[in-house]
């Protein structure tokens, strides 16, 4: 049970915390400049309730006059008050016949005359003991840091016992410790964890206005070596985090001193000892931007004309001493950007564009693009690869200004050109195979080459192939195919053949796409599995039924000295329309 004979200021502040936890919409008032008889108030559908908080015990004559004065001031400053509550750590003395000095009689008969139409309530010791029993952090705050030491010491000794109950004992101990940590301060607490034998603690406010009600000042000393390139890069990242917000993890040894200015309760949440043995993380709160800030990432030519661009949506921000960092990306999440922007020296007027000076921009792409929609990948990659020597990169922030870099000397995204070619080819192929094409997984180098050839055919080119291909044959067509290889077609090249299909399929990674009509000349084919095919054809002459029921057969060709020639899509279509070989169509 709490001994309420404590420091008056801490007692009254603790009672206000209990009131606010009971009624979250309650507002505490500072009486330093005159509170109008209101220590706290709550406005609800039932009207305005005013709370008068007292820390003293028995109501002597002078203390009653204080309460009466507070009630009169409350009536004057809040004429719409419907209820007035006196919160005091004592129970009232009962009314007795013939005695006019009882607190019950004073409260029930004398006080109501000062506030006609206002309901008066007394929340005394019973109510406060019940509330503080449910809020041990408030009790500890009122008592000070020495309160309940014996109970805490007993629990500490218990933590040394063997965990006979296994993980259930562990969970119970952790839960008990977390509860006790929460009781240290009514404003702050610690989140703690152990991972890979590393203990991690995070200071967290329990209420939104904790920095105002119980401020904490931390003055660390950071030390970085100036003769080490890695430490210099870490120092620059650290300074950028302080300047523009963000986060950084510092290994042990970089914080060489740590001064903490805080209340006695909050100070207990900090580790004492040598700070060089601990790792530190510095991070600032990320604020959600709703709605997001829509910007445009642009690549400009030497005359400031826009070559390529894509839209960027910044959805979060952090703030630091010199400016802010915006976090976002394109609508599909292909490109992720964070931009550190100094506070502007001037605010742009209507229609005015302001260059925002020395900003720092970082752009990251996913390690793997498999699964991303081609229509989302294309504008991002097209824009990034357009940043060649002599161009400029600009981030256009409507209503805020522009962030423009100097002329590009070394193209920053030159390594993306091959990927851009593949995405462009897939986009071109999507016009024939249908919309909604995604980037395939497990795409091989050989499949990329086949994709390039397929797109060239769509664009009207003929494409040479080394002859190393596999053709699927119907089981009943094997003999006819072998006979064709022994003839001299109209091209005059011995052993060649002409192949055409109206429904070619293209395998790209985990995708199989319908490509459509294709045709090719094979001048000098080298059939690698000829013997197996001839054996299959011979068996077909004696066992027609089993061969007819067989699965399709593969004819595997090796690379040859004369390349196979795939004709353009137009010529393939013309063949299916006329039946004429491309030799008669100026192939």
Q: What is the pLDDT of residues 469-481, one digit of tens each?
A: 888 888 878 888 8
Q: 3-state DSSP call for residue 474?
A: coil
The predicted structure's pLDDT at residue 547: 58
The predicted structure's pLDDT at residue 488: 46
Higher pLDDT, 97 or 548: 97
The predicted structure's pLDDT at residue 491: 45
Q: 3-state DSSP call for residue 192?
A: strand
The predicted structure's pLDDT at residue 160: 46
The predicted structure's pLDDT at residue 364: 93
Which stretch of 109-118, 238-247, 325-334, 495-504 has the lowest confidence by average pLDDT? 495-504
Which stretch of 82-91, 140-149, 413-422, 569-578 has the lowest confidence by average pLDDT? 140-149
Confidence of residue 490 (pLDDT cuts 50, 70, 90): very low
pLDDT in tens, 22-56: 888 888 887 654 556 788 899 988 899 999 998 87
Tokens of 292: 């997001």
The predicted structure's pLDDT at residue 503: 81
Contact 437, 430 (CB under 8 A): yes
Which stretch of 172-181, 353-362, 547-556 has the lowest confidence by average pLDDT? 353-362
Tokens of 161: 């016992």
For the cut 80, the answer to whether the pLDDT of residue 543 exceeds it is no
For the cut 90, the answer to whether the pLDDT of residue 307 exceeds it is yes
Looking at residues 211-230, what average pLDDT do you find? 89
The predicted structure's pLDDT at residue 492: 43
> Mean pLDDT in the chain?
83
The predicted structure's pLDDT at residue 157: 52
Q: Which long-range contacts (CB under 8 A, 24 or more apart) does 289-293 make?
A: 289/314, 289/315, 289/316, 289/317, 289/326, 292/328, 293/326, 293/328, 293/397, 293/400
Give 432: exposed, middle or buried? Use CB within 10 Å, 0-12, 13-18, 19+.
Answer: middle
For the cut 60, the answer to whether the pLDDT of residue 355 exceeds it is no
Confidence of residue 183 (pLDDT cuts 50, 70, 90): confident
Which stretch of 128-132, 334-338, 430-434, 505-509 has the lowest confidence by average pLDDT? 430-434
The predicted structure's pLDDT at residue 517: 87
- The alpha-helical segments, DSSP class H, found in 23-56 are none
Contact 447, 525 (CB under 8 A): no
pLDDT in tens, 159-181: 445 555 677 877 888 888 888 88
Tokens of 354: 């302001």
The predicted structure's pLDDT at residue 586: 41
pLDDT in tens, 296-306: 999 999 999 99
The predicted structure's pLDDT at residue 318: 95
Which secondary structure element, helix H or strand E, spans residue 180, and what is its range? helix 167-184
Assign domain 8-143 to a CATH class.
alpha beta
The predicted structure's pLDDT at residue 549: 64
Which residues lie below 8 Å from residue 232, measured CB to CB, with a gap of 6+? 224, 226
Looking at residues 67-73, what average pLDDT do you find? 90
Considering only the C-alpha atoms of the chain, give the largest distance between any 2 of them, rounded to a whole number of Å. Answer: 136
pTM of the complete model: 0.62
For the cut 50, the answer to whether the pLDDT of residue 363 exceeds it is yes
- The alpha-helical segments, DSSP class H, found in 188-268 are 210-213, 229-244, 264-267
The predicted structure's pLDDT at residue 583: 53
Q: Which long-range contacts (CB under 8 A, 24 or more apart) does 63-69 make?
A: 64/106, 67/111, 68/110, 68/111, 68/114, 69/37
B/e letters for 525-561, b = 16+ CB within 10 Å, e = fewer, are bebebeeebeebbeebeeeeeebeebeebebebeebe
Tokens of 195: 């991972």
Which residues lie below 8 Å from residue 167, measured CB to CB, with a gap of 6+? none
Give the DSSP per-residue string, 391-433.
-EEEEEETTTEEEE----SS-TTGGGHHHHHHHHHHHHHHHHH
Q: 3-state DSSP call for residue 500?
A: strand
Tokens of 402: 């522009």
- Positive/negative CA dihedral, 203, 204, 209, 214: negative
The predicted structure's pLDDT at residue 227: 86
pLDDT in tens, 521-533: 888 888 888 888 8
The predicted structure's pLDDT at residue 83: 93
Which residues lie below 8 Å from residue 251, measured CB to CB, with a gap of 6+? 279
Give 289: exposed, middle or buried? Use CB within 10 Å, 0-12, 13-18, 19+.
Answer: middle
Distances in Å between the Cα of 442 and the Cα atoms of 415, 420, 496 are 19, 17, 34
The predicted structure's pLDDT at residue 171: 82
The predicted structure's pLDDT at residue 441: 93
The predicted structure's pLDDT at residue 314: 96
Cα separation, 234 vs 240, in Å, equals 10
Confidence of residue 310 (pLDDT cuts 50, 70, 90): very high
The predicted structure's pLDDT at residue 372: 94
Beta bridge partners of 28: 40
For the cut 90, the answer to whether the pLDDT of residue 9 exceeds it is no
Higher pLDDT, 143 or 340: 340
Looking at residues 432-451, what average pLDDT do you find? 84
Q: Where are the domains of the chain?
A: 8-143, 185-283, 290-418, 440-584
Closest CA to 307 of 371, 402, 392, 199: 392
Q: What are phi and psi of 152, to 5 degrees?
A: -65, -40
């Amino acid at each position: 049970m709490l001994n309420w004979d404590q420091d008056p200021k801490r007692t009254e502040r603790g009672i206000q915390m209990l009131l606010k936890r009971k009624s979250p919409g309650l507002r505490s008032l500072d009486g330093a400049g005159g509170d109008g008889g209101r220590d706290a108030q709550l406005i609800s559908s039932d009207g305005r309730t005013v709370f008068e908080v007292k820390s003293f015990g028995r109501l002597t004559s002078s203390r009653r006059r204080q309460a009466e004065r507070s009630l009169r001031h409350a009536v004057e400053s809040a004429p719409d008050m419907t209820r007035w509550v006196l919160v005091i750590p004592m129970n009232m003395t009962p009314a007795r016949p013939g005695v006019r000095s009882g607190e019950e009689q004073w409260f029930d008969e004398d006080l109501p005359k000062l506030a006609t139409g206002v309901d008066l309530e007394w929340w005394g010791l019973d109510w406060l003991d019940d509330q503080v029993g449910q809020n041990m952090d408030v009790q500890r705050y009122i008592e000070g840091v020495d309160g309940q030491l014996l109970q805490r010491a007993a629990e500490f000794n218990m933590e040394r016992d063997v965990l006979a109950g296994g993980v259930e004992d562990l969970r119970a101990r952790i839960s008990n410790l977390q509860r006790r940590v929460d009781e240290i301060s009514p404003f702050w607490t610690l989140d703690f964890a152990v991972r890979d034998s590393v203990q991690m603690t995070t200071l967290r406010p329990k209420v939104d206005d904790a920095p105002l009600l119980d401020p904490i000042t931390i003055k660390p000393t950071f030390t970085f070596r100036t003769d080490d390139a890695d430490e210099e890069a870490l120092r620059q990242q650290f300074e950028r985090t302080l300047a523009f917000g963000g986060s950084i993890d510092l290994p042990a040894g970089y914080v060489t001193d740590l001064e903490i200015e805080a209340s006695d309760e909050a100070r207990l949440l900090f580790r004492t000892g040598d700070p060089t043995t601990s790792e530190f993380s510095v991070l600032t709160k990320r604020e959600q931007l709703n709605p997001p800030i829509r910007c445009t990432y642009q690549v400009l030519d030497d005359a400031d004309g826009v070559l390529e661009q894509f839209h960027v949506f910044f959805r979060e921000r952090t703030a630091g001493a010199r400016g802010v960092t915006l976090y976002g990306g394109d609508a599909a999440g292909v490109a992720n950007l964070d931009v550190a922007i100094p506070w502007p020296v001037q605010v742009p007027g209507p229609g005015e564009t302001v260059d925002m000076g020395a900003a720092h921009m970082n752009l990251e792409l996913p390690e793997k693009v498999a699964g991303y929609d081609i229509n989302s990948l294309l504008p991002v990659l097209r824009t990034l690869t357009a940043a060649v020597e002599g161009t400029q990169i600009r981030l256009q922030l409507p209503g805020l200004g522009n962030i423009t870099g100097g002329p590009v000397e070394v193209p920053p995204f030159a390594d993306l050109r091959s990927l851009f070619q593949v995405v462009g080819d897939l986009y071109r192929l999507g016009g024939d195979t249908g919309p909604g094409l995604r980037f395939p997984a497990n795409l091989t180098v050989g499949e990329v080459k086949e994709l390039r050839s397929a797109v060239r055919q769509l664009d009207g080119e003929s494409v040479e192939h080394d002859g190393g291909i596999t053709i699927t044959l119907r089981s009943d067509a094997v003999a006819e195919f072998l006979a064709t290889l022994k003839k001299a077609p109209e091209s005059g090249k011995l052993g060649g053949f002409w192949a055409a299909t109206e429904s070619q399929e293209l395998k790209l990674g985990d995708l199989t796409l319908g490509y459509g009509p294709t045709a090719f000349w094979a001048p000098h084919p080298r059939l690698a599995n000829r013997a197996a095919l001839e054996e299959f054809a011979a068996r077909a002459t004696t066992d027609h039924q089993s061969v007819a029921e067989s699965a399709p057969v593969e004819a595997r060709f090796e690379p040859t000295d004369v390349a196979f020639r795939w004709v353009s899509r137009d010529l393939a279509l013309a063949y299916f329309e006329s039946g004429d070989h491309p030799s008669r169509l100026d192939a």
